[in-house]
């Protein structure tokens, strides 16, 4: 029995494949290499000693998806594959709706046609928008999405709600907070294309001298130091949450057909906290300046992780410093 990991060569996907193989699962990676590199496959093999099965195709190719499900005994699906650049999604909304929702629909069709059951879906804390209360529980209302990208996550959750209800298959949607860091081996990590949009790759590239200085987007937020607050979670902790969620479905421990879990550390850190933590853990000084807020950014988001702690028995173990150290080691290898 195998686990299909779509987008398995991407940032979170590759770390999850490593943890799956460490736990003895056989993995089939499906990836179209649209935002990942084939070298990652060798790196996964080098970390775990096992080469995962790899299928290079686009999940919009319905026939290929059906063939995959018909030709393999599949015990579960972890669906990561999606386009994820917020700015690009505003310029090319059709591409985002097509890629992110079309691929999900094809996976669901093939899954149901072959009577597969267990689906883990990558959702995002972006569905909460600026939540009214911190920390954010799973019951917080979902808000209008700030971007087509965010909307694809919200609509995908709705698709899961309707289809688990109608077809009675089992799924878990994990709502990630901000995944950062890299594998401690420094063999896999985040590979941003072009100028990084996310904070941590920008920080490490600035420290490496690739970027002149980090622009801190806004110091006039209603937070203790004026900069925006997020819940940064080490990607290895996040990857492990997928394994416990998958086991929960396989062992039939889920309480409803579709469950949602926040996956974060439960701790909010400001942009200045991140800069300080980076400087402390790497002993590198970071050039930065405060600039205007970035459009569409929220003030704060951090998770109430009680449900994941109690129901999944999962808890983030690694610190912010630890994640930043690993991200830096990864940067040094680039
Ligand atoms: C972003 C996306 C979100 C997505 C998530 C995935 C936006 C508006 N949101 O979240 O939809 O789910 O990535 O990881 O892009 N910052 C700086 N300078 C920088 C970059 C970022 O100060 O050069 C600040 C931001 O203003 C924010 C924090 O750092 O306060 C984190 O930013 P980022 O890493 O882009 O994540 P999010 O904006 O939380």
pLDDT of residue 55: 98
Closest protein CA for atom 13 of ligand 1: 198
Residue holding tokens 């499906």? 30
pLDDT class of 9 with cuts at 50, 70, 90: very high
How do the domains of the chain map onto residue ranges? Answer: 2-181+233-264+304-317
* Extended strands (E) in the chain: 2-6, 26-30, 53-55, 74-79, 118-124, 170-176, 178-180, 214-217, 229-230, 232-234, 258-263, 269-270, 288-291
Of the candidates 190, 272, 267, the one whose C-alpha atom is nearest the C-alpha of residue 235 is 190
* Contacts (Cβ under 8 Å, ≥6 apart) of 281: 321, 322, 324, 325, 328
In the chain, what percentage of residues exceed pLDDT 70?
Answer: 100
150 lines ligand 1 (CB under 6 A): yes
Q: How many whole angstroms from 271 Cα to the centroid of ligand 1?
A: 10
pLDDT of residue 1: 85
**Closest-lying ligand 1 atom to the alpha carbon of residue 86:** 15
**Closest-lying ligand 1 atom to the alpha carbon of residue 178:** 14
Catalytic one of 96, 149, 221, 302: 149
Give the pLDDT confidence of 229-262 residue by residue, as tens digits. 999 999 999 999 999 999 999 999 999 999 999 9
Q: Looking at domain 2-181+233-264+304-317, which CATH architecture does it have?
A: 3-Layer(aba) Sandwich (3.40)
145 lines ligand 1 (CB under 6 A): no
Give the pLDDT confidence of 15-51 residue by residue, as tens digits. 999 999 999 999 999 999 999 999 999 999 999 999 9
**pLDDT, mean over the chain:** 97
In the chain, what percentage of residues exceed pLDDT 90?
Answer: 99
* 288-291 and 214-217 beta bridge pairing: parallel
**Closest-lying ligand 1 atom to the alpha carbon of residue 200:** 34
pLDDT of residue 193: 86
pLDDT class of 150 with cuts at 50, 70, 90: very high
Q: In what order do the strands lie in the sheet with 74-79?
A: 53-55, 26-30, 2-6, 74-79, 118-124, 170-176, 258-263
Residue 120's DSSP bridge partners are: 78, 172
8 Å CB contact between 110 and 69: yes
296 lines ligand 1 (CB under 6 A): yes
Count CB neighbours of 287 within 10 A: 11
Closest protein CA for atom 25 of ligand 1: 217
pLDDT of residue 180: 98
Give the pLDDT confidence of 175-207 residue by residue, as tens digits. 999 999 999 999 999 999 899 999 999 999 999
pLDDT of residue 240: 98
12 lines ligand 1 (CB under 6 A): no
pTM for the structure as a whole: 0.98
For the chain, the straight-line distance linking the first and the last C-alpha, in angstroms and rounded, comes to: 36
Residue 139 corresponds to which tokens in the numbers above? 């019951």
**Would you call 221 a catalytic residue per the annotation?**
no
């Amino acid at each position: 029995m195998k686990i299909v990991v779509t987008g398995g060569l991407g940032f979170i996907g590759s770390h999850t494949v490593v943890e799956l193989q460490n736990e003895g699962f056989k993995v089939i990676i499906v990836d179209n290499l649209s935002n990942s590199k084939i070298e990652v496959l060798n790196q996964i093999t080098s970390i775990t000693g096992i080469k995962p099965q790899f299928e290079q195709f686009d999940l919009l190719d319905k026939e290929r998806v059906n063939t995959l499900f018909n030709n393999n005994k599949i015990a579960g699906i972890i669906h990561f594959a999606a386009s994820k650049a917020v700015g690009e999604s505003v310029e090319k909304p059709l591409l985002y709706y097509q890629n992110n929702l079309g691929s999900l629909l094809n996976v669901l069709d093939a899954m149901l046609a072959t009577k597969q059951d267990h689906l883990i879906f990558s959702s995002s804390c972006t569905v909460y928008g600026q939540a009214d209360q911190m920390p954010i529980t799973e019951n917080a209302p979902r808000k209008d999405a700030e971007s087509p990208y965010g909307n694809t996550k919200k609509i995908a959750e709705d698709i899961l709600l309707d289809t688990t209800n109608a077809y009675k298959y089992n799924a878990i949607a994990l709502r990630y907070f901000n995944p950062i860091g890299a594998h401690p081996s420094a063999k896999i990590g985040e590979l941003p294309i072009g100028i990084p949009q996310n904070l941590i790759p920008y920080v490490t590239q600035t420290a490496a001298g690739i970027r002149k200085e980090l622009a801190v987007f806004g110091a006039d937020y209603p937070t203790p130091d004026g900069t925006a607050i997020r819940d940064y979670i080490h990607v290895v902790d996040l990857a492990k949450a997928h394994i416990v969620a998958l086991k929960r479905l396989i062992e039939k421990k889920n309480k409803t057909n579709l469950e949602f879990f926040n996956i974060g550390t439960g701790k909010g850190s400001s942009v200045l906290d991140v800069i300080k933590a980076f400087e402390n853990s790497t002993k590198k000084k970071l050039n930065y300046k405060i600039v205007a807020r970035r459009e569409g950014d929220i003030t704060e988001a951090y998770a109430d992780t009680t449900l994941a702690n109690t129901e999944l028995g999962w808890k983030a173990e690694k610190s912010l410093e630890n994640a930043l150290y690993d991200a830096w080691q990864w940067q040094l290898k680039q």
